[in-house]
A and B are shown apart, each in its own frame.
Chain A
Amino acid sequence: MALRITIGQYYHADSPVHRLDPRAKLACALALMVTVFFIVTPLQLALGLSCAAALVVVARLPLRNVLASVRPLVVVLVILGVFNLFYVHTGTIVLTLGPVAITDEAIWWAVCYPLRLSAAILYGAIILLTTTQIQLADAFDAALAPITHLGGPGHELAMVFSLMLRFIPTLADEASAIIDAQTARGGGMGEGSFAHRVRSIGPMLVALLGSAMRHADGVARALDARCYEGSVGRSHWHPLRFRTMDAVAVMLTGSYLIVLFLLA
């Protein structure tokens, strides 16, 4: 059982999307992701999907990496579609299968829900693939600036968040090693009855927690050794600068939103 996680892994390329100021990029992406859930008409759906697809092209991301981040959620998307197909009863009936009646609206929602959710996932993937985790931390730092100004640990929260992103793949690898080891000892979540699998979660979590604590110790030592002392006195190799292209990105996002709402 190999839990290989590809979500949240930066893909380096030289593209306008990569070069955007992370604050502008994150704000635009959030706007795009949230408004996805206002999509209700086929025209809007077409616009939303083509916008996401266009971004993938502009960001020069290989289709393989983009699809890899959607793949783990395919099951959820399919269930979502099927659920809509059977539970939406408004509209005119187009098909009857025994006791189940399927309406034209049900078919539309069965298509629309999974597709618009995949658009949102795509935007998320684009952000993570085109933004280094240090840039993300800087963007969060900016977003949390009000907390920092009030004397709260805004900067530190942003750092913790970015370290969390950094360690997701490492911990996932370790979880799969632990599952392997326990499976080889006749336990483990890989095999056996449902009850057996549930019982084996405990030992897995204890070992994983131990390993997370060990990493936390190591990271603390590494941060100390490299003189990390919070934001005070810290400089930036690539200081954040809001440039013309960021303004263009914000304007493009704004016009997209206007068109999207006009199509409603």
Chain B
Amino acid sequence: MPAVAAITRPAISLEHVTLVYGEDMAALDDVSLSVAPGEWVCVLGANGSGKSTLASVICGLLAPDAGTVELVGEHVLDEGDADLSAYRRARREIGLVFQNPDDQIITTVVAEDVAFGPENLGVPPEEIGARVARELHRVALETYADMDPTRLSGGQKQRVAIAGALAMERRVLVLDEPGALLDVRGRRSIMDVMRRIHVAGTTLVHITHFMDEALAADRVIVMDRGRIAVEGTPREVFSHVGELRGLSLEAPFAARLSAALRHHGVSVPLTCDEDELRHSLARACASEAHAAHASVPCACAPSDEPPAVICEHVSYSYSDDARGHAALSDVTFSVPAGSTCAIIGQTGSGKSTLLRLVCALEVPDGGRIVIDGTPTGKRRDRRRLHGVVGFVMQHPERQLFAETVIEDVSYGPRNMGLSPNEITRRAARALDLVGISGKADASPFELSGGQRRLCAIAGVLAMEPRILVLDEPTAGLDPRGRAELRRILSEVNGTGTTVIEVTHSMEDAAVCSEVIVLDQSRLLMQGTPAQVFSPGHEELLKTGGLGLPAPLRFALALERDGMAPLDNPLNEDELIAAITTRATTFGSSGAVV
């Protein structure tokens, strides 16, 4: 495709584009950028770096204040002058798929939704039918044509949205964080579809938080405070590991690992390709046998306290489920007090239902749940338990309602009937803990996305729960936001609070002290991360739509390539330490020869 690009005009061309929100907030600050037809460009950046604004400008939904914009050959903006009819023509050639799948689906039948765009373009009926069939096939949803989209998973809904955009036969497709709200399997399916579209010649502009996804692109652009900070091929961009960290981004796994290994004196090339790194490591260390066996340390000392949560043969089904499926069946486990516990499982495995039961919002149909020594069966006990279990739901920032941050945070303590002094103390302490004390008197709606989430979490922490339950607390956050949240949670856990968390990230689960795996409403496994993420469970986890944490997966691949056992590292530090030890052995024996 680059050969074609050389002769044709760019698909997208931005020159010195500036866009200002409100008074003085420059969302885009003198951005110049050109995308060739058929190119796949990935835009990275922290929350608030201007990458979503850039997406809106590129797909012609937002006209910048200054600069020149050319979209698919249309001069839509010349030195700040917008040509609205050119914008309309350009929009017919540029598709957009964004974060929230629910808002993008206009109709109640999958095929009708794909047809909606072509209908708007005035495409004749026979042609629409052909396009709908073709695009549903391309996103592998042809068997879902007559379904109600609200019954599909998030990943499937996003594929419907992509098919809807493709059915309009656009030359450019802009994807604004399409995987931000999806699980691992959903994200993978979106990436597969994108590869297919790229091969078919569509120009792709992909905005994402996930660095690993950027590896598939031809070119990567990193945004920072409205400007382009770094630009180049994925390989070039991710070699700036330190610089990326400064932009609160995180290089992909292989790039981080190779940089760290080089730092420890292991001679590997700086790469963001896992296979390449593995091959060069295997060559370096293959012949060496390694005898030492570190024993796996027990993560937590057995405590005398009763477990924080006990679930005994718990089952639950929604009464109106037309298919009569149980949401949970015969689930038994317990969570030790003071531990950190991860609940993993793919969408629809029953995780959210389980959390509602553990938070005493609902009682199980069968079996029983005991929280902090109190069974959840009685209404009065459940009310008391709401002061014991704190529940941070998915996207808690959507539930803010008060006029000021401090008022919202005080809502819980006030409902507990505490004294005004105690309410103030707790609210202040919670805000301090999440680090937004300075915003106490601001309206929650003035905060940035990340701060809104912290505010919502502070509202739960202010109740000083003994057990904190979180449903995907890091979903949609950038690496800095995720790190910040990890810090808060470990601080909360440090004061003796049990932390239970539903997560899509195997790496996050691997640093907890307990892991619970759900699959199709049943308990698949429970144990320490070392027990659950053992090499023998790889296939089992994969069938449940899960996987092993990246460091362990990489270590096992290395072992298959002939490297000596690496003692199943569960996090990057362990993996780096293990490889460095082997490599040192290699170095010394090499000296002998």
| A interface residues, Cβ below 8 angstroms from B | 1-2, 4, 6, 9-10, 12, 62, 64-65, 68, 132-134, 163, 165-166, 169-170, 174, 177-178, 180-187, 190-192, 202-204, 206-207, 210-211, 214-215, 217-219, 221-229, 233-239
Contacts and interface: CB of A to CB of B under 8 A. Distances in A.
A221 B148 CA distance: 22
Interface in B308-322: 318, 320, 322
A132 B559 CA distance: 55
B389 interface: yes
B356 A180 contact: yes
B318 A207 contact: no
B155 interface: no
A12 B399 contact: no
B365 to A, nearest CB: 13
A55 B566 CA distance: 68
Interface in B360-401: 361-362, 379, 382-383, 386-387, 389-391, 393-394, 396, 398-401
Nearest to A223: B106
B108 A239 contact: no
A165 B168 CA distance: 25
B102 interface: yes
Residue among B359, B400, B401 facing the most chain A CB atoms (10 A cut-off): B401
Nearest to B462: A185
7 contacts: A165-B108, A180-B393, A190-B361, A191-B383, A225-B98, A233-B120, A238-B125
Contacts of B122: 233-235
A211 B398 contact: yes
A180 B146 CA distance: 32
Interface of B: 59, 61, 88, 91-92, 95-96, 98, 100, 102-109, 112, 115-125, 128-129, 132, 146-148, 150, 164-165, 168, 318, 320, 322, 356, 359, 361-362, 379, 382-383, 386-387, 389-391, 393-394, 396, 398-402, 411-412, 415-416, 445, 459-460, 463
B488 to A, nearest CB: 18
A185 B463 contact: yes
A10 B109 contact: yes
A38 to B, nearest CB: 33
B364 to A, nearest CB: 14
Nearest to A184: B391
B108 A184 contact: no
Contacts, number: 179
A122 B389 CA distance: 43
Nearest to A5: B320
Shortest beta-carbon contacts, A-B, top 7: A218-B103, A186-B415, A184-B391, A225-B96, A185-B412, A206-B401, A237-B115
Nearest to A227: B120
A114 B148 CA distance: 32
Given A184-B393, A190-B361, 19 more contacts: A1-B361, A9-B148, A132-B112, A134-B107, A134-B116, A165-B108, A185-B386, A186-B412, A203-B411, A204-B401, A219-B106, A223-B106, A224-B61, A225-B61, A225-B98, A233-B121, A234-B122, A235-B119, A237-B128
Contacts of A229: 88, 120
A248 to B, nearest CB: 24
A163 B106 contact: yes
B318 A2 contact: yes
B318 A237 contact: no
B250 to A, nearest CB: 28
B401 A166 contact: no
B399 A207 contact: yes
Contact of B108 (A64, A133, A204, A221): A133
A126 B68 CA distance: 54
Contacts of A1: 361
Contact of A222 (B106, B128, B356, B402): B106
A214 B362 CA distance: 28
A132 B415 CA distance: 44
B128 A235 contact: yes
Contacts of B393: 177, 180-181, 184
A241 B164 CA distance: 25
B37 to A, nearest CB: 20
A186 B386 contact: yes
Contacts of A226: 106, 116-117, 120, 164-165, 168
Residue among A6, A181, A202, A207 facing the most chain B CB atoms (10 A cut-off): A181
Contacts of A223: 106
B107 A4 contact: no
B115 A215 contact: no
B129 A184 contact: no
Contacts of B61: 221, 224-225
B271 to A, nearest CB: 37
Contacts of B386: 183-186
B398 A174 contact: yes
A4 B123 contact: no
